[in-house]
Structure formats: C-alpha cells, structure tokens
Structure 1
Amino acid sequence: MVSSALDHPGIRLSAKELLALRETPTPPNRHRPATRRPGSVPARLPGAGMDLREVRAFVEGDDTRRIDPAATARTGIPHVRSFHEDRDDTVLLVADFRPAMLWGTGSALRSVRAARCLAGHGWNAAARGASVAGITITASGVSVLPARTGVRQMSAIAQMFAHEHDKALDRPGASPSLTAALVRAAQLAPVGAQVWLATDPQGIAPEDEPALRRLARRRRVTLLCPLDPVEIAPPSVALPIRSGSSNRLARLHPFDPAPLTSRMRALNVMLEVSTDDAS
C-alpha cells in the first residue's frame, strides 16, 4: 500500500492517466488490410505463426488448443505455447522503475514521465493494429505482459505499469541490474519488432551492454530518456552536498547527449530525450 504522502499526481502513477493518453478512435472499417504495405487486398489478418515465442503457465483465457503436453507432464501444471504472430508490427514497451528513476525536481517523477512516454507510443501502435507487449523492472524484479493487440491490451499494460510503480514506491530496495529485463525483452520481441526502453541517462551500465546489443540485433531499439528540469537548466550557483560527515560544493552542468548518443550508436540503439516536464 502506497503511503498517503506519496499519493499525489506526478508522484504516484495512475492507470487512468495512461488510459487518458489514448487519442479519439476513428470509426472502424469492416475490413483491415492483410499487410500495411500499399496495394494490399482487404482480408482478415493472419493468426498465430509457427515461430515459438515462449512456453508459460496456463492462465484463464488461454486457448486450450495451445497446451504443451511435455511441459504440462514435466511440471504437473498446465502450460501453453505462444507463437509470434504472422505480422511484422510488434511493439515492446520497457519501463525502468528502479530507485534511480523515482525522483524529480519538476511536476512529476522521472519514472512517471517515462511511463507516460511509453504509453503514448503504445497507444499509437495499438491504433494501427500492432501487437503491444510490456515489461517493467523494479527493485522486486521483472514483470512481463506478452504481446497482444487492441485497446484491452493497452489497458492491461496501463494497469501493470501503475501496479508495478506502486510496488516500486512502496518497496524501493536495492537497484538490480537491467540485464535481466533486456534478456527477457529479447525473448519477447520477435525479429523486426520496435522496442522502446525508458530509463535515465545512467540507466545502462557497462555490464548491461552485451544484453542490449543482442536485443538490438535485427530489432529497432530506442532508448527514451526523460530529462529532469535540473538536468536541462541547472542552477548557476554551486550547491552544497552532504554525505555522512563530509560536505562538498558542486556545480551542475546541463546534460550533454553526445557521449550517450555515440555509445548507443555503437550498440545499434537510437537515443530519444524528452525535455517536456509535463510529458
């Protein structure tokens, strides 16, 4: 349960605000194109493909025809196989809610602004019929929502983001490595998928780079960095810093994206910074 002191807009993330980012839908067509390329003939979208995405525990609503007999027999718990759909439009939203993201000097925490940015990209993808998946990483670990289509899926991602953000606020704990989330992302996102990873400028540690490089292989990966106002226009005077019995004066400098851009380019990752505190 989140403390009442943290239950304020900009600090606590709500599913309602992420749902409100959905644009007014256009009237649905009776037919949707089989592909999104010019000249496609209106037809039903293809269903599940043949490429295995994962074997996971059965949950209510899963297709019983997808039950995996071997995994079910081995574990004693019903398991199902899920497959990559026969489409080339899958979007994965990865939200970093580790302790370093849970701060801000403006109208919202960096983590809240990151979730808003991701939700905007997710709604755009859902509007064009893409499959959307979600991953969060907190001090408690990694949570995953496999790819599906439609408004219901984006609503589920909004609920997951809000729930995991509450957990992050309630139990900040130690900051785990991002590698586990990147490895899970590579398992979840098919070849050709678009991956949006929202974290802070220092969120990618050197030990995370091999996993990020593998994720970016044959996928379009963009690193989203919502900058805090103090990183954009820091105070001109030196600020006192205290750590235990030690005191220092330090002068802050505006964030320079060039080193991070170069570093990400070497990993085949694009960098996108957000400077709007209201985002």
Structure 2
Amino acid sequence: MNPALQAPGVWLDARSLIALRTHLLHGAETEVQAALPGGFVTRRRGQGQEVADVRQYVTGDDIRHLDRGSTARTGVLHVRSFQEERDQVTFLVADFRPSMLWGTRRAFRSVAAAEALSLIGWRAIEEGGRVGLLVIGPKMPVVTSIRGMVRGMLAVIGAMARAHATVLEEAQSGRLDDPDLDGALARVTRLAPAGAEVVIASGFDRPGGDLSDRLGQLARRRHPRLVMVGDGIDALPPGSYPIRLADGSHRLGRIDEGREDIPPEPLAGFPLLRVDAAAPVAQMARVINGGFPRREGMSHG
C-alpha cells in the first residue's frame, strides 16, 4: 500500500478508536457545545417483566404483584414494581464513499465519521445498550451484527477499520464509484430493529432524490440521528487554492460559492449535529457529549 495512505488522519487506526472511550469516561463534565433534541431513551417504570424494586404494599397496589419471599420474611406485605422493557439498540451507519475520502487539515471526513460513531457507540455500551454497524462504500456494504458489551463495540471498530482500508485501496486503484446515499441506506430498515437509534455519520454529498423519503420511512419505527461531518474548507471563501499532492507536486483547486450537493439544514425535518474533521478529537467529544446526553445511572466502569 502507498505509505501516504497510512498517514495519521488518512489511515483509520482501530487502536485510536478504542482509545476514544477515555474521552467518554473522563470527559463527562466537558462543556456542551451542540445538541440534538432528545438522546437515548431511558427506561421507565411500567408493566414489563424486569423487576425495578421491592417495597411495602400501599393501598391501590396490584395484589398480583405481591413478593412472597419478602412478605414471608418480614411479615409485612411487599410488592414488586417493574420497569418497562426497552432494548436500547444503537445502529451506526458509517459513510465511507469516495466523497468522504478527503480533508484539508487533521483528518479525512471518513476518519472523522468513524471517530464520531465510535464516541457514540462507546456511550451506548456504557449505558448497557447494544450496537450494530453498516458501512456504506463503493463495494458491497459491511455489516456487523448487533451485540452488547465491550466485545460488541470492538467488533464495530474492527469492521470500520478493515472497511476503511479496503476503500482506500479501491480509491488508489481508481475505482471511485460514488453511489447515492438514499439507495445505500435501503438496507438499514432490514438491519436495525424497531425502536433502535439509527446514527448516520456522513457529509451527505450525493444524497439522491429519495433521501427525505428514506429517512421518513426510518422514522416510522426507529429514531434517526444525523451527524454531518464537515471540514474546515467549508469556511473558506470562493476562489482558487494551491493543493499539494502526495507526490509533492502542486495544482490549483477551485472552491465555488454554494455547494449544491450539500443539503439544507435541517434535512428532511431532522436536525443535523455538525462535527468538524479539522477540529481536535477532544472538541468532537464535547460536541458528541452535547448531542447525545447521557442517561441517568450511566456506568463509568
């Protein structure tokens, strides 16, 4: 492989994504810079089958919920209360299409997308949830099954790192087919279970004509969250800028005013959480912490 493709910010290092867990555990009180409404769904007490606690009986409690063991042991009526059963699934969608393989400073947008999803995935695991993955690229998509605990997140990270290496090799070989995003998301409805958070990290280039409909379909039974990965170049004024290529040569690149391939905000009625590939990872972590607020009782172990 070309050594230039293994440079930091170009090559997706699985160890770096694993280390992002420390930003979650030790950066819990960092400043909130941006937020999406809502966050992960918390468990509520209800009529599920998982016991929330056992307490003394009070008038009006359902006698069918008597806890025989506590009642016999104390001689006082005790009842069980239950919490609503909600399987928290966070399904991560990483856009590794060729349009994501560029960046002006710290990292490619594809690398930043993987970093953002890793931060979100670690948050879900720490809260007792499960994670799954779909990687969108020029070849067949990469999928990992939905799993919990640390091993579930390690499987997601490993799959993203391998898929990114493949995409870089494809791009180096000149295979730069860039499918529309709406068609690439068709698999999500078959992979993400009802009630799941579906987090899509993308630049939303080449969205396709049906992206709004696709997101609307997802929203009927799932909860889409859109993370737009930008780059510092978005803030540059229109004009021609010198670009140094990997072989050391230079050429001029043109930045035109108003990129038509970037959809307006919000997208299909869904707010966009913006992260900057040029910004330090610690800043991205603060943005993610604000956009995906922690649930009560989050474990730091």
Name structure 1 gaps, 5 residues minimum: 27-34, 44-85, 242-247
SS of 1:206's equivalent in the other structure is coil
Q: Is 1:272 aligned to residue 273 of structure 2?
A: yes
| Partner of residue 216 from structure 1, selected from 219, 232, 243 | 219
Deviations 1:123-151 (A, max 9, x none): 00000111110010111121111111010
Distance in 2 between the 1:222 and 1:9 partners?
28
Q: Is 1:182 aligned to residue 181 of structure 2?
A: no
Sort the Cα spacing of 1:123 and 1:42 in 2 relative to 1 into closer, same or farther, 3 A.
Answer: farther
Q: Do 2:238 and 2:257's aligned partners in 1 also have CA atoms closer than 8 Å?
A: no
Deviations 1:21-50 (A, max 9, x none): 113769xxxxxxxx833696169xxxxxxx
SS of 1:224's equivalent in the other structure is strand
Deviations 1:132-190 (A, max 9, x none): 10010111121111111010010010000000000000003211233444221111212
Q: Do 2:106 and 2:277's aligned partners in 1 also have CA atoms closer than 8 Å?
A: no
Distance in 2 between the 1:191 and 1:227 partners?
30
Query: Following TM superposition, by how much is the alpha carbon of 1:12 offset from its aligned partner in structure 2, in angstroms?
Result: 0.4
Query: Following TM superposition, by how much is the alpha carbon of 1:203 offset from its aligned partner in structure 2, in angstroms?
Result: 4.2
SS of 2:21's equivalent in the other structure is coil
Q: Do 2:215 and 2:268's aligned partners in 1 also have CA atoms closer than 8 Å?
A: no
Alignment-derived partner of residue 240 in structure 2: 239
Distance in 2 between the 1:97 and 1:214 partners?
23
Query: Following TM superposition, by how much is the alpha carbon of 1:275 offset from its aligned partner in structure 2, in angstroms?
Result: 2.9
SS of 1:91's equivalent in the other structure is strand
Alignment-derived partner of residue 161 in structure 1: 160
Deviations 1:231-277 (A, max 9, x none): 0x20x462169xxxxxx995544889x96224420xxx331111362
In the TM superposition, 1:202-213 aligns within 5 A as 202-213=205-216
Give the letter for the 2:240 counterpart.
L
Q: Do 2:212 and 2:268's aligned partners in 1 also have CA atoms closer than 8 Å?
A: no
Distance in 2 between the 1:214 and 1:156 partners?
28
Sort the Cα spacing of 1:149 and 1:203 in 2 relative to 1 into closer, same or farther, 3 A.
Answer: farther
SS of 1:195's equivalent in the other structure is strand
Deviations 1:182-240 (A, max 9, x none): 22111121222111101114242213333332122232111111111010x20x46216
Q: Is 1:136 aligned to residue 135 of structure 2?
A: yes
Q: Is 1:261 aligned to residue 265 of structure 2?
A: yes
Alignment-derived partner of residue 3 in structure 1: 2
SS of 2:52's equivalent in the other structure is coil
Number of equivalent positions: 218
Alignment-derived partner of residue 36 in structure 1: 43
Q: Do 1:221 and 1:270's aligned partners in 2 also have CA atoms closer than 8 Å?
A: no
Query: Following TM superposition, by how much is the alpha carbon of 1:106 offset from its aligned partner in structure 2, in angstroms?
Result: 1.1
Distance in 2 between the 1:112 and 1:251 partners?
22
Alignment-derived partner of residue 202 in structure 2: 199
Stretch of structure 1 that moved more, 88-97 or 204-213: 204-213
Query: Following TM superposition, by how much is the alpha carbon of 1:4 offset from its aligned partner in structure 2, in angstroms?
Result: 1.7
Percent pairwise identity: 34
Deviations 1:33-82 (A, max 9, x none): xx833696169xxxxxxxxxxxxxxxxxxxxxxxxxxxxxxxxxxxxxxx
Distance in 1 between the 2:10 and 2:152 partners?
24
Sort the Cα spacing of 1:37 and 1:216 in 2 relative to 1 into closer, same or farther, 3 A.
Answer: same
Distance in 1 between the 2:220 and 2:89 partners?
15
- The TM-score with structure 1 as length reference comes to 0.69
Q: Do 2:104 and 2:231's aligned partners in 1 also have CA atoms closer than 8 Å?
A: yes
RMSD: 3.2
Give the letter for the 2:275 counterpart.
S
- Point out which structure has higher relative CO (alpha carbons under 8 A, 6+ apart): 2
Give the letter for the 2:198 counterpart.
V
Give the letter for the 1:105 counterpart.
T
Distance in 2 between the 1:273 and 1:165 partners?
21
Distance in 1 between the 2:2 and 2:153 partners?
27
- The TM-score with structure 2 as length reference comes to 0.64
Deviations 1:76-96 (A, max 9, x none): xxxxxxxxxx63311000001
Distance in 2 between the 1:168 and 1:138 partners?
7
Give the letter for the 1:162 counterpart.
A
Alignment-derived partner of residue 90 in structure 1: 89
Distance in 2 between the 1:103 and 1:276 partners?
10
